[in-house]
Amino acid sequence: MNQDYIKPDNWSIIEEGFNTERVKSSESLFSIGNGAMGQRANFEEHYSGATFQGSYIAGVYYPDKTKVGWWKNGYPEYFAKVLNAPNWIGINIEINGENLDLATCKSVSNFRRELNMKEGIYYRSFNAILQNGTEINVNVCRFLSLDLDEVGVINYEITPLNSDATIIFKPYLDAGVHNEDANWEEKFWEPISVAHDSNQAFVTARTFKTHFEATTFMQNSILLNDVLQDVKPVVTEQTDDKIMLAYNISVEKEQKVAIQKFGGYTVSTNHVNTFAAAKNIIEIALVVGYHQLFEDQKTEWGKIWKMSDITIEGDVKAQQGIRFNIFQLNQTYSGKDSRLNIGPKGFTGEKYGGSTYWDTEAYCIPFYMATKDQQVARNLLAYRYNQLQKAIENAEKLGFKNGAALYPMVTMNGEECHNEWEITFEEIHRNGAIAFAIFNYYRYTGDYSYIPEKGLEVLIGIARFWHQRATFSTQKNQYVILGVTGPNEYENNVNNNFYTNYIAKWCIDYAIEQIQVVENKYNSDYVRILNKVKLSQSEISEMKKVADNMYFPYSEEHDVYLQQDGFLDKELITVANLDKSQRPINQKWSWDRILRSPYIKQADTLQGFYFFEDHFTKEQLEKHFNFYEPFTVHESSLSPCVHSIQAAILNKMEMAYTFYLRTSRLDLDDYNKEVEEGLHITSMAGTWMSIVEGFGGMRVKNNALHFEPRIPKEWDGYSFKINFRNQILKVAVQQNETNFSLEGETAIPVFVNGKEILVEPNSLVTV
């Protein structure tokens, strides 16, 4: 663990005291987002210390030219990067002729940040003594409106404490921004125009290559003791990509002067004329007004929490952790826009690039399915449907044909942009999760319509890929899948990864099953789709042959499926017997040593048992868990959640609790010493699963909810809510009982430890 400066609190993330070494970490932890844009917790005023400036617009990316040491055939030409957008938050401050800069003040005291997760508002306050002796108190409040999602709001208040002061607010917009994660130090934005009009200013710029156009705008108001002032700004700086205004105001000691800045982006993905759209959205924001925007923000976050909150009693750190995870997931993706997805760092950093990984289907969809309207999960599925043609082209590049689809490892627009052959070309199991998510969506929501409408085409493309990717081994007289990387990225280019083979077989079986269902029940869709994809009965039979004769590596001796061929040739020393000085192995060992070791980065065979739990007995799960868990180093953020869930099923509650803590406070406690680069957004959905599916034991079987509630001995109780088929069920678990209640209209049956109970609307059932 690397930091402990975040104060435990049920609803807020709080930092007290100013420490220059924490600035970059806090910039990540206090990030805000509203699904359409995001902002690291950079200071508004100039800061000359170490900082990582980041403003992001959802869906806007730059195709950064690929950088490799040794080019290999098939590498993509570019890596689509989440790019740093023009700065709209900047407000330089001049006080009695001196620029405010926390890095150079004589002193900074009472420095405090609070990210109020209940309200979705970020507060910062401090007292500072400038080099010229002026002492000031500053209070800043910032949020990105959920209602008007192109608008961010800043209220920046200054009170001179020891003298009158001449204060110049210099709000600016700047498209001349730098990217932390650029391969070649290129500029990503090309300036188009700069305009201003009284209190408003606009910088329009266009991304190179992709030609996304964004107008970054601001509208400023000056208030003295909360009363609006008529201060005319002057333009103090204007270049082709930047504009800065200056508001000069003299205030008396202890008078509070404030600038209210509305800013944000209007983007060509949503508007034909981004400049006109910016003008328009400013008008709307001015009509609504600062106070109403502030109140609306609380209301909107209230609605989110009403549906998705998890409470934990008796353990503030655990409570803070899970709320932080839920909060960040909601900041990153609102589900409104099916062109968007859930980037691994959300709006908190640039590393990894792309916005879509298999994380979405494997980890995030269950969270959004249970805490949002089911349209949100459907939009996530449709995102892949909309990129099916690109997935087919991607497969063609690798030698597949006839409509076989390989979804990319990392993408922004459907094209592959990851470039490491052992992942890009070989971590093909991702295709399986995309099919699984379709199954999972139907299982949870009961909404079959997605499959004839869109899903079946995706399932067919994926099944075709697996059919062509398998090889018949005359040696084994079965189908094998050679040269893959499984979920455990500490193995590369292995043969017959159990997880991959298993999900490949399942994908083919499921696709064929759905073809039959659609043929029988949605025949016009069936005809339309089969005409489109030209799937013959003989191709279906060939596919089925592959699925029916898939090989799975298995050890008689241990009675477990083997992670891949040859796993037992390894030197099987458990993690517990590995010297602590050797960990984490990804920092201490060379890559070849990691590869030939038995150590598992993240759940792999067990990931298969997680997805297909009902295909195996609990005894089988236990055997596999006991076999693989001791070799698992969990050096991926996506690992502990699956282990936590399975430990809970197996009644290994101490283990389950340990894994839970590791996943839920990964960023708050900076386990991996990298939080300054941004947060681990997608694994946060895994934390949610650890509680709901792990401790709560929630499953959906035959259209009904099942629970096996368990509770860590450290907690007094916990509760969660889930949206199940448009009714909200609340489950509250305590040490000795579980309470169910329903916000909805229709009683639903719920199975608790296998026993059916009926939960009626608005009445409590205790078990």
Q: Is position 106 an interface residue for a second copy (rule: CB under 8 A)?
A: no
Residues sharing a CB contact under 8 Å with residue 168, sequence separation 6 or more, in sequence order:
93, 94, 95, 246, 247, 248, 249
Per-position x/- string for 420-449, each x denoting binding to a second copy as judged by CB under 8 A, each - no binding: xx---xx-----------------------
Q: Which is nearer to a second copy, 136 or 504 (CB)?
A: 504
Span interacting with a second copy, options 97-105, 157-165, 568-576, 650-658, rule CB under 8 A? 568-576
- Is residue 405 left, alpha or beta, with left meaning phi > 0 and alpha meaning psi from -120 to 50? beta
Nearer CB in complex with a second copy: 65/253 = 65
Which of 66, 139, 236, 269 is close enough to bind a second copy by CB under 8 A?
66
Our finding on whether 495 is near a second copy (CB under 8 A) is yes
Binding residues among 723-762 for a second copy as defined by CB under 8 A: none
- Least CB distance from residue 486 to a second copy, whole Å? 13
- Distance in Å, CB of 556 to a second copy, minimum: 11
Q: Which is nearer to a second copy, 530 or 572 (CB)?
A: 572
Q: Which two tokens stand for residue 524?
A: 């016009």
Q: How far is the CB of 434 from a second copy (least distance, A)?
A: 19
What DSSP string runs through 482-502? -SB--S-TTS-SBS--HHHHH
Cβ closest to a second copy, residue 442 vs residue 552 = 552
| Residue 760 annotated as catalytic | no
741: closest CA among 725, 757, 717? Answer: 757
Measured from the CB atom, the residue of 569 and 619 that comes closer to a second copy is 569
Complex with a second copy: residue 596 or 618, whichever CB lies closer: 596
**How many Cβ atoms are within 10 Å of 474's Cβ, its own excluded?**
7
The residue within the footprint of a second copy, chosen from 47, 275, 442, 589 (CB under 8 A), is: 589
Residue choice 67, 178, 306, 521 for contact with a second copy (CB under 8 A): 67
CB nearer to a second copy: give 282 or 480: 480
Contact mark string toward a second copy, 470..489, x via CB under 8 A: -xxxxxx---x-xx------
Q: Does 593 bind a second copy (CB under 8 A)?
A: yes
Question: Closer to a second copy at the Cβ: 400 or 444?
Answer: 400
Dist CA 49 CA 212 (whole Å): 32
Residue 70 binding a second copy, by CB under 8 A: yes
**Residue 616 interacting with a second copy (CB under 8 A):** no
401 counts as binding a second copy under rule CB under 8 A: no
Find the shortest distance in angstroms from Cβ 352 to a second copy.
11
Q: Report d(CA 213, CA 206) in Å as an integer.
A: 4
Contact 715, 312 (CB under 8 A): yes
* 68 near a second copy (CB under 8 A): yes
Choose, by CB under 8 A, the member of 565, 613, 622, 760 that binds a second copy. 565
Among residues 15, 426, 489, 676, which one is catalytic?
489
Say which residues have a Cβ less than 8 Å from residue 513's Cβ, sequence separation at least 6. Answer: none
What's the closest the beta carbon of residue 636 comes to a second copy, in angstroms?
15
Q: Report if residue 570 touches a second copy, rule: CB under 8 A.
A: yes
Helix or strand run (H / E) with residue 525 = helix 523-533
- For 553, the token pair is 């590596």
How far CA 51 is from CA of 42, 153, 333, 563, in Å, comes to 7, 22, 25, 43
Give the span between the Cα atoms of 531 and 329, in whole angstroms: 40
- What is the contact mask toward a second copy in residues 545 to 564, using x (rule: CB under 8 A)? ------------x-------
Do the bridges between strand 748-752 and strand 704-707 make them parallel or antiparallel, or are there none, so unpaired?
A: parallel
Using CB under 8 A as the binding rule, whether residue 586 contacts a second copy is answered as yes
Q: Which of residues 381-400 bind a second copy (CB under 8 A)?
A: 397-399
In sequence order, the 6+-apart residues with CB closer than 8 A to the CB of 8 are 316, 317, 320
Binding residue for a second copy, selected from 108, 595, 655, 767, defined by CB under 8 A = 595
**Site for a second copy contains 419 (CB under 8 A):** yes
Confirm or reject binding of residue 569 to a second copy (CB under 8 A): yes
Rounded Cα distance between 646 and 652, Å, is 8
Q: Which amino acid is at 519?
A: E
- Report whether 677 contacts 28 (CB < 8 A): yes
Q: Which two tokens stand for residue 561?
A: 């499926």
Q: In this structure, are residues 303 and 650 in contact, taking their beta carbons and an 8 Å threshold?
A: no
- Residue pair 108/375 in contact by the 8 Å Cβ criterion: no
Q: Specify the residue, 591 or 704, whose C-beta has the smaller distance to a second copy.
A: 591
Q: Report if residue 592 touches a second copy, rule: CB under 8 A.
A: yes
CB of 551 to a second copy, least distance (A): 9
CB of 484 to a second copy, least distance (A): 8
Q: How many residues bind a second copy (CB under 8 A)?
A: 48
What is the per-residue binding string for a second copy in 168-197, x denoting contact by CB under 8 A? Answer: ------------------------------
Q: What is the largest CA-CA distance in the chain?
A: 89
Dig out the tokens for 619 from the structure: 């005894």
Q: 621, exposed or middle or buried, with CB in 10 Å at 0-12, 13-18, 19+?
A: middle
Q: How many CA atoms lie within 13 A of 638 on its CB side?
A: 22
Query: What is the pattern of x (binds a second copy, CB under 8 A) and - over residues 290-309?
Result: --------------------
Cα distance between residue 496 and residue 479, in whole Å: 9
Three-state SS string across 239-262, please? CCCEEEEEEEEEECCCCCEEEEEE
Characterize the bridge pairing of strands 91-95 and 98-99.
Answer: antiparallel
At 372, is the secondary structure helix, strand, or coil?
Answer: coil
Q: Which residues bind a second copy (CB under 8 A)?
A: 66-70, 72-74, 397-399, 419-421, 425-426, 471-476, 480, 482-483, 492-495, 557, 565-566, 568-572, 586-596
Active centre residues (catalytic): 489
